[in-house]
Structure 1
Amino acid sequence: MADARSVILHEYPTSPFAEKVRLALKLKNLAYSRVEIPVIMPRPDLMPLTGGYRRTPVMQIGADIYCDTAIILRELETRFATVSLRTPGQEGLSQMVAGWTDGRWFQSSVAVIFGAIGDSVPDAFKKDREELSGRPFDTEAMKQVAPMMRDQWRARLMLLEERLQAGRGAGAGNYLIGAKPGFVDVHAYMNVWFMMNTLPDFANTCLEAAPLTRAWYDRLTEAEGQEPETISSRAALDIAKPAAPRLVMASTVNEPQGFAPGETVAVAPDDYGQVWVEGELVHADAQRIVLQRTSPEAETIHVHFPRAGFLVRRA
Structure 2
Amino acid sequence: MADARSIILHEYPTSPYAEKIRLALRLKNLAWSRVEIPVIMPRPDLMPLTGGYRRTPVMQIGADIYCDTAIILRELEARFPMPALKLPGHEGLAQMVAGWTDGRWFQSSVAVIFGEMGDKVGEDFIKDREKLSGRPFDVNAMKAVAPMMRDQWRARLMLLEERLQGGQGAGAGLYLVGAKPGLVDVHAYMNVWFMQQNVPDFLAKCFETADLTKAWFERLQEFEGQDPETITSAEALEIGKHAAPRLVVATTKYEPQDIAPGDMVAVAPDDYGQVWVEGEIVHADSQRVILQRMSEEAETVHVHFPRAGFLVRRI
Task: Give the alignment's TM-score, normalised by structure 2.
Answer: 0.99
Q: Distance in 2 between matches of 1:195 and 1:173?
A: 22
- Identify unmatched segments of 5+ residues in structure 1: none
Task: Give structure 1 regions of 4+ aligned residues with deviation exceeding 3 angstroms.
Answer: 168-171
Alpha-carbon displacement from aligned partner over 1:176-217 (angstroms, at most 9, x marks no partner): 000000000000000000000000001111011101100000
Percentage identity across aligned positions?
A: 78
Q: Distance in 1 between matches of 2:223 and 2:274?
A: 35
Instruction: Read off the aligned partner of 2:153 and give its amino acid letter.
Output: W
Is contact 1:108–1:152 with CA below 8 Å preserved after alignment? yes
Instruction: Read off the aligned partner of 2:2 and give its amino acid letter.
Output: A
Identify the residue that residue 23 of structure 1 maps to in structure 2. 23
What pairs with 1:214-225 in structure 2 (closer than 5 Å)?
Answer: 214-225=214-225
Instruction: Read off the aligned partner of 1:61 and give its amino acid letter.
Output: I
What pairs with 1:56-75 in structure 2 (closer than 5 Å)?
Answer: 56-75=56-75
Identify the residue that residue 34 of structure 1 maps to in structure 2. 34
What pairs with 1:73-92 in structure 2 (closer than 5 Å)?
Answer: 73-92=73-92
Identify the residue that residue 245 of structure 1 maps to in structure 2. 245
How far the C-alpha of 1:166 sits from its partner, in A, is 1.0
Identify the residue that residue 233 of structure 2 maps to in structure 1. 233
Alpha-carbon displacement from aligned partner over 1:95-144 (angstroms, at most 9, x marks no partner): 00000000000000000001111111000000000000000010111111
- Identify unmatched segments of 5+ residues in structure 2: none
Identify the residue that residue 203 of structure 1 maps to in structure 2. 203
Tell me, what secondary structure is at the counterpart of 1:81? coil
What pairs with 1:1-315 in structure 2 (closer than 5 Å)?
Answer: 1-167=1-167, 171-315=171-315
Is contact 1:168–1:174 with CA below 8 Å preserved after alignment? no
How far the C-alpha of 1:170 sits from its partner, in A, is 6.5
How far the C-alpha of 1:38 sits from its partner, in A, is 0.1
Tell me, what secondary structure is at the counterpart of 1:96? helix
Instruction: Read off the aligned partner of 1:97 and give its amino acid letter.
Output: V
Report the RMSD for the aligned CA atoms in angstroms.
Answer: 0.9
Q: Distance in 2 between matches of 1:6 and 1:83?
A: 18
Q: Distance in 1 between matches of 2:93 and 2:20?
A: 16
Tell me, what secondary structure is at the counterpart of 2:166? helix
The more displaced of 160-169 and 69-78 is 160-169
Is contact 1:176–1:184 with CA below 8 Å preserved after alignment? yes
Tell me, what secondary structure is at the counterpart of 2:198? coil
Instruction: Read off the aligned partner of 2:145 and give its amino acid letter.
Output: V
Q: Distance in 2 between matches of 1:28 and 1:184?
A: 15
Instruction: Read off the aligned partner of 2:269 and give its amino acid letter.
Output: P
Instruction: Read off the aligned partner of 1:78 and give its amino acid letter.
Output: A
